[in-house]
Structure 1
């Protein structure tokens, strides 16, 4: 890994740490040692701390009182359960958003940026935009409780979602599904939007089960 020369760019450090987590260089359950990371990246501790706080917000790092911070760890069975909840939650969010028929300019702008990352095969950048896309749909639903639930569940699945996107054709498949979903919301097609959202999350779950070598429940 190339050392980072600019101490103020905590976002670059954040992306570096995301990559280390995805590649398994920082393993689930491993204690986060900010000083050690700062020395490795050749920066001061402050931007590393800022980057770690951002990753906590994404669910990639977990903090525990009197214990410290650790790379997020989630049992596979629990991840599958959360995906199953998200299938219905994302479907509801898409249905409500389509019912309100909001302007989808912001969704389309995110999609355009996502396409660029598919071309560049930048999984981390795509993942960040993917998170923004789904959060926007939750916001467009007009349901604040749903939005809060969405953020919590999405963050807890961050590492697993990165794994599915990193698989061959993962970005391309995800891009197609997002495009269909955005079009349905923009057209005010409630049932189509709901089904597209459910199918998208189910597809992600299916890819995860394939990656982990586990069978889907009938």
Structure 2
């Protein structure tokens, strides 16, 4: 079972010393895309990616075909690589796919996810909520950053309960593209962190009771709210 507390956006992950350079380069570029450091429509050279990832040119070159196959980078002849531009129609389609994947995974999460893992997630969210409420603006900002790192990891963890690696990979790439397209709109901030925490708890608490219907309702509301915000609605 995956550790939902991991922070996949951490480019300084010590695992990089233990994995193939090609995979490390892929993960480094993935992090740049998820964080918004590489933006839709931006042109970037292989040598710039070397500087940004801190890895070798050979490793970056080996990672590029996979990134292209997943639609995360495009080769532009005579100009280098481009981060693809993603429009509103894509955002709608991506959220529809996200809904299908997460809802399909829900029965497996209800059946397979351990009480310990669910309880840890609930405690973490409740503790974070208390900190955000009582700690002032600086603590609220820290809480938002922690929630931002953990948010997509939790959702990917639900899909991982299916044991279907293809579904997990499709979800992961779709999530990256959503963040590339609308990162500034769906980012967790000190102003919306409490809402996101409450929406997560409305998913996790029914999961703890093994109440699939209530969990599905909470998950649907959470995805719908995220889509509305991604399309320009109020946070």
TM-score (norm 2): 0.61
State the match for 1:134 in structure 2.
155
TM-aligned CA deviation for residue 190 of structure 1: 0.8
Structure 2: tracts of 5 or more residues without a match:
1-9, 14-27, 132-138
CA distance in 2, matches of 1:191, 1:206: 23
State the match for 1:4 in structure 2.
none
The change in CA–CA distance for 1:172 and 1:158 in structure 2 (over 3 A counts) is: same
Aligned-CA RMSD value: 4.3
TM-score (norm 1): 0.65
State the match for 1:191 in structure 2.
213
SS at match of 1:69: strand
The answer to whether 1:70 aligns with 2:91 is no
State the match for 1:151 in structure 2.
172
CA distance in 2, matches of 1:135, 1:202: 17
Pairing partner for 2:229 from 200, 207, 210: 207
TM-aligned CA deviation for residue 199 of structure 1: 1.1
Pairing partner for 2:116 from 77, 91, 105: 105
CA distance in 1, matches of 2:203, 2:86: 28
CA distance in 2, matches of 1:78, 1:16: 21
Pairing partner for 2:103 from 82, 91, 98: 91
Larger mean CA deviation between 141-150 and 112-121 belongs to 112-121
The change in CA–CA distance for 1:141 and 1:209 in structure 2 (over 3 A counts) is: same
User: Is the Cα–Cα contact under 8 Å of residues 29 and 70 in structure 1 kept in the other structure?
Assistant: yes
TM-aligned CA deviation for residue 134 of structure 1: 0.9
The change in CA–CA distance for 1:18 and 1:146 in structure 2 (over 3 A counts) is: closer
Larger mean CA deviation between 9-18 and 72-81 belongs to 9-18
SS at match of 1:204: helix
Structure 1: tracts of 5 or more residues without a match:
1-8, 213-218
